[in-house]
Structure 1
Amino acid sequence: MHDIRAIRENPDAFDAALSRRGDTGAASSVLALDAERRARIAAAEAAQAEQNRASKEVGAAKARGDDAEFERLRALVAEKKAEIAAMTAEAKELDEKLADVLARLPNLPADDIPDGKDEHDNVEIHRWGTPRAFDFTPKEHYELAAVAPSMDFETAAKLSGARFVLLKGAVARIHRALAQFMLDTHVEQNGLTEVNSPVLVRDEAMFGTNQLPKFEEDSYRTTNGWWLIPTSEVSLTNTVAGEILDEAALPIRMTAHTLCFRSEAGSAGKDTSGMLRQHQFEKVEMVSITHPETSDEEQKRMLRCAEGILEALGIPYRTVVLCTGDMGFGARRTFDIEAWLPGQDTYREISSVSTTGDFQARRMNARFRPTAGGKPEFVHTLNGSGLAVGRCLIAVLENGQQADGSVELPAVLAPYLGGKTRLSAEGALV
């Protein structure tokens, strides 16, 4: 959500920042609504003052026996009361309309974000590892002999439809091991607090992390009104909604492993093979609630946490900063980490680490009380995948594949797999 005062103070700068994202200027229409709303409020306050004066004079007119003046003043009081009710209702309606308009405007990009239209204009800032040179043509994850028996798309389609998968046996265990490894690393090495969070949330939580109202069609809603989370960013970030925190409590760093749900309404026809893009998937999410002065450094710290997972797994990756045209609605800066997938012969996104500034905090009314005193200020919120478990599974399987169809697994997973280090061509852990 945007600060209406900032738009009033510098509408040209607001429109210029929106235009960097490819959006048309909105300041004039926003300020017109705001002016109309404020005019109604001012008129209601003026009418209230007139009503108060008339109410005082009613008693005086009655005391001196001036019946005509008494009746005139009574009528005036009634008239002003009706005017106040009407103008207050109009102001409320305009306030709701203004709030809805502001809620549909994306966050403004940070000054250091590269301009661009789409993913082709993103800028690579870091690369780690060298993609392995295969002496055979590498396959995609679902084509591997070791994987095919345990990655069942047909049964999942029978149960749920397209874009679901049934993992079984050793592949299911590797998937679980990856999530456990990520959580343990974030808790024991990165200092995050593990949270077991709900996957069903209310409208307010979805609004707070900017899934509503703009992206309603991309999410799933239950028949009794709850929403299935697209990521635990929603649950974790909203733990501070409506709160005034002590400055000393910041930063708050959390991580959670949850099921996630996305309708993928805008991705028809994309990545239909394999488990790269699913309606139901799992992620280990990272969320930080910070002081405004430290949020940029916190984003860098979170990025290293996510990159460290891939490095420990031995997965080559590259990190890009998203251009203005490719950033998410609520982000002011986003770093994407793309893992190397030899089956596709390309890098694919496996994590996004974003800072939203105070954009989400304003929607949630999440603030902190400065230790030095003064009015409460809005916190900054950040989120990042640490990592997407299914996509990490794909990367592990494809990068570790052998000519005979077996898969060599990262050594760091051995403690979670009973000491086993390889997935045989027959699909067994050995």
Structure 2
Amino acid sequence: MRDADDSGGHDRHEGSLDVDDPLDTDYGFLDAELRRRNAAAFVHVGDRFDDDLRYLTRFSGPDRAYAFVYRRGTATLCAPALFDEQAEREFPGADVVTANRADPAGLRAAAVLDAAGAEEGGTVLVPQHVPHDAAVYLERAGYELESTDAVAGARQVKTDAEVDRLRRVQRAAVRGMARAEAVLYEAEVDGDEVVWNGGPLSTERLRRQVNGVLAAHGVRDAGNTVVGCGPTAADLHFTGLDAIRPGETVLLDISPRGPDGYYGDITRTFAVDPDGGWERRAYVAVEAAREAALAELGAGVPASTVNEEASAELAAYGFRVDSDEVGFTHSVGHGVGVSLHEGPSLTADEELEAGNVVTIEPGVYDPEHGGVRLEDLALVTEDGYELLGEYPFGLVPRER
């Protein structure tokens, strides 16, 4: 039975994430790749859980396979039976064809190529993760397959419309964080317990408060709301149940997904009645590492430089880096888009580009003490960066 106080209790209309204008996809990068590789077409097969396909088609369902076929200048979606109207509404390409319920998606893609008069035996580009059965149908139809990473590359540079989606979702994530801090501020210490609204406060109760706000603002938690405390705050992706104790770090990593498939990502760390030991030292170090990483962010900067500056700052405060369990155990950030983790990697040597959207999330962890991480979502610009959503800092919860 759900506690009456755990519903979130917020206006479902105030600031909700309503997106009316459809997203487009510029297929110019596929034209360039086809020319460069002297290929006849690009084909991908997957379902709504395939983020490359979601990016290419803007089609949000269903969970059975469908195909995308691109010939120079013409994009075709082979929509599953009974989903043609949704496909017509969401797909930005020129053609939607409805597949017979019994036709495998790879077979349908081959039929589209045949109907278009594609050169028999011509080269068809596919992502490395194209399903095996789809590849077999295309090869049986006489096409020679070659892999390409062009889609992953295109996804790294966001358009203005994509940045707008990311910014809107991040605003909802910020509101969720505000709710979490409010609950922690209202909580009281009772012996070795943290009590809120008549009962012990747990990570699950706090997670429900956050997720209620996310739902009220039009995004879904997607199972990604991390709330850890004490030792479980040192678990990078803790989504289980733990009792929140006085003085322990409470780490909240909120990464909801919006209606067009784009993610937000924000992390803050709090402590109720901290004693000023490890957790304060760790918080100061992580704040400094965050500032050092942001100071390096900008177009033309090697991505790994951002990670190196954060690592150097944490090491200067006496924390281990490149460790598996204690200290700074992960990179300082990653790209975010229709996947929560996508390119660019901030450990790579490639230069950042204007339009990249990345997290900056230094952290330090020690299972004996807890974990501290601070994370924001940043758009790389020609002369630096822009934060897509901001939230205040402070280890002790405050009334905002």
Specify the TM-score bucket, using the shorter chain as the normaliser.
under 0.3
Structure with more relative contact order (C-alpha pairs < 8 Å, separation 6 or more): 1
TM-score (norm 2): 0.25
Structure 1 or 2: more helix by fraction: 1
Greater Rg, structure 1 or structure 2?
1
- TM-score, scaled relative to structure 1: 0.24
